Structure 1
Amino acid sequence: MGKLMNGIFGGFHGRIGNLVGYTLKGKHIVRKIGISTKPLTPARKANCQKMKVVNEILSPSLPVIRSGFRLAIVGTDKNEYNEAVSYNKLNALQGEYPNISLDYTKVLVSMGDLPVAVNPVINQNVDGTEIEFSWEVPADLSYQYDNDRAMLMIYFPALKVSCYHLIGSKRAEGTDSIRIDAAHAGERMEAYISFIKDDGKAVSNSVYAGSLNAGKATESTVETASKMETPDLDFGFSGSDFETISAPNQELGLAKSWNQYFLKNKANDEIIGDFAFKLRQNNQHIAEININISPTGQHKGYAKETVSAALSFLFKNAGVNRIVKTVNAKDEAAIALLRNLGFREEGYFIENVFIDGKWINEYQFALLKSEWGLMNLNS
């Protein structure tokens, strides 16, 4: 049921039929929900790949993006991450679908009016665990910029992770360094530098500082991709209001056995949640699922759309016979969703998991392929 806001001439909040209304940064938004059965057009497929490629570098670099694009969105209803996505989709991609890739030299992780770093270079120390950045300090540079602080970032393409230093040396010092994990010392690195005021009231555009171990890591990336290719588990879904894009394991904090995806709003490229599934190592016919929806994306049917599509995919394409989901016994919304989709309650586990200093009771729900097929046959 929807609720009118500010009378009949205002927006509404809630659901009316296949429409949902909500408020986003002071604006009344109305969207249509439901599952689209239309195949993706070539343009949509290209856009999905563009989003995936850009998110691979931006997602693990979120703290840098928040600092670097914060001032670029002042006075708008945009957010830092979406602004970075929009810029890099337009300016930092090369190639045509299905061979779209990043041009690392054109990526921006910071946007602002301060003078940029001049002729930055990077070097790796002997043991490989420290990357030194250096840059020129022009003799005619105004003294007001001497105390700007360096913001450094290194991205590892093969690993899809980033490390960063948000408040580093002063601009006038001309050098700074960042430590990396010893296990990453031989990996390909792409480096970026920008400057930010101590009070955060001004920032520069980032500048590409160079690459290390590019040849070796390129071979490693190809080899890793070949080993990880699992086309039967490539879940892709486009609803009427959002679509799924692959997410790096490190971003969602789940083990590598999980297949992970972000839910992206089609209208504004906002990430509104995440979804993941995995096949049990000792029984590939049993799958587990997990879904989270951000506060701005809740109560719009996104979870139901995604899980419904995932059930169809896992039962039809992945050879799964049984899907299991464990939920907090107090999570009434999740329990209602599972029951609505036909899941059966199989067990109640007292103090089954320890979270935030306390033991949590959980329910286990499950759905068989035969049960799912019967429901869809009768629907």
Structure 2
Amino acid sequence: MNKTILVTKRLTLAPLNKSDKSLFIELCMDPKVMEHCYDPSTLEEAEAGFEAFSQPWDCNSHDWLCFGITETNTGEKVGNISVKILDHKQHIGEVGFLLNPCKQGKGYAFEALKRVKAFSFDVLNLKKLKAICSTQNTSSIKLLEKSGFIQAAILKNNVVIKGKSIDDYQYEYMR
């Protein structure tokens, strides 16, 4: 599965490789990008994260399959989007994404998420996808709802960011 390349009208989604490393690290360390996810990573944590997200993956894996998102025409890196199989027996997965702030608002996340949803159902044979986002992350909330995800739960005090407990929404999508 690590050779899987997904293509949309404007984007190429390919498993993380060395060309994605600098943007991956930059996004993980950026306080603005991470403000609704986690505390920003140190350089060492971001590098370790890149190594973990770029490991070989197959359908039996319990880790994330992370795709670097690249503008096909320009070769510019946009961000990354990942899918993880949470429950192999129930065919439930989770998606997550991070975009370069200068690439946000252009429909790239919507386009990438649409393609990863299709891959998740058609190739991975998932029956349900989940996504978790902060109750304060209006951009991700709008994206998930526009993409057909439905708010399924509020996860109270789900993560601690800068010493403060944060509530998250759990969204779900079933085909």
TM-score relative to the length of structure 1: 0.34
Q: How does 1:297-336 map to 2 (within 5 A)?
A: 297-336=103-142
Alignment-derived partner of residue 106 in structure 1: none
**Contact kept? 1:327, 1:364, Cα under 8 Å:** yes
**Contact kept? 1:277, 1:290, Cα under 8 Å:** yes
| 159, 167, 170: which one aligns with 1:364 | 170
| 1:251 aligns to 2:50 (yes or no) | yes
Q: Tell which has more relative contact order, 1 or 2 (C-alpha 8 A, sep 6+).
A: 2
Q: Secondary structure at the match of 2:75?
A: coil
**How many angstroms apart in 2 are the aligned matches of 1:318 and 1:351?**
31
Alignment-derived partner of residue 239 in structure 1: 8
**Contact kept? 2:7, 2:115, Cα under 8 Å:** no
Q: Secondary structure at the match of 2:7?
A: coil
| Deviation digits for residues 264-297 of structure 1 (CA, Å, limit 9, x no counterpart) | 1223322110111111255460111011110121
**How many angstroms apart in 1 are the aligned matches of 2:165 and 2:67?**
29
**Contact kept? 2:84, 2:93, Cα under 8 Å:** yes
Alignment-derived partner of residue 144 in structure 2: 338
Distance 1:316 1:322, change over 3 A: same
The Cα shift of 1:357 comes to 1.9
Larger radius of gyration: 1
Residue ranges of structure 2 left out of the alignment (5+ in a row)? 18-47, 56-62
Distance 1:252 1:299, change over 3 A: farther
**How many angstroms apart in 2 are the aligned matches of 1:245 and 1:319?**
19
The Cα shift of 1:241 comes to 2.5
**How many angstroms apart in 1 are the aligned matches of 2:76 and 2:90?**
33
Q: Secondary structure at the match of 1:359?
A: strand
**How many angstroms apart in 1 are the aligned matches of 2:161 and 2:123?**
34
**How many angstroms apart in 2 are the aligned matches of 1:284 and 1:247?**
27
Alignment-derived partner of residue 73 in structure 2: 267
**Contact kept? 2:83, 2:96, Cα under 8 Å:** yes
Q: How does 1:339-354 map to 2 (within 5 A)?
A: 339-354=145-160
**Contact kept? 1:285, 1:320, Cα under 8 Å:** yes
2:159 maps to amino acid: V
How many pairs are equivalent? 138
Residue ranges of structure 1 left out of the alignment (5+ in a row)? 1-229, 370-379
Q: Secondary structure at the match of 2:129?
A: strand
Q: How does 1:1-379 map to 2 (within 5 A)?
A: 230=1, 235-247=4-16, 250-251=49-50, 254=53, 257-281=63-87, 283=89, 285-369=91-175
**How many angstroms apart in 1 are the aligned matches of 2:123 and 2:94?**
15
Q: Secondary structure at the match of 1:240?
A: coil
The Cα shift of 1:327 comes to 0.4
**How many angstroms apart in 2 are the aligned matches of 1:368 and 1:240?**
24
Q: Secondary structure at the match of 1:299?
A: coil
TM-score relative to the length of structure 2: 0.70
1:251 maps to amino acid: F
**Contact kept? 2:67, 2:81, Cα under 8 Å:** yes
Q: Secondary structure at the match of 1:300?
A: coil
**How many angstroms apart in 1 are the aligned matches of 2:64 and 2:170?**
19
Q: Secondary structure at the match of 2:139?
A: helix
Q: Secondary structure at the match of 1:308?
A: helix
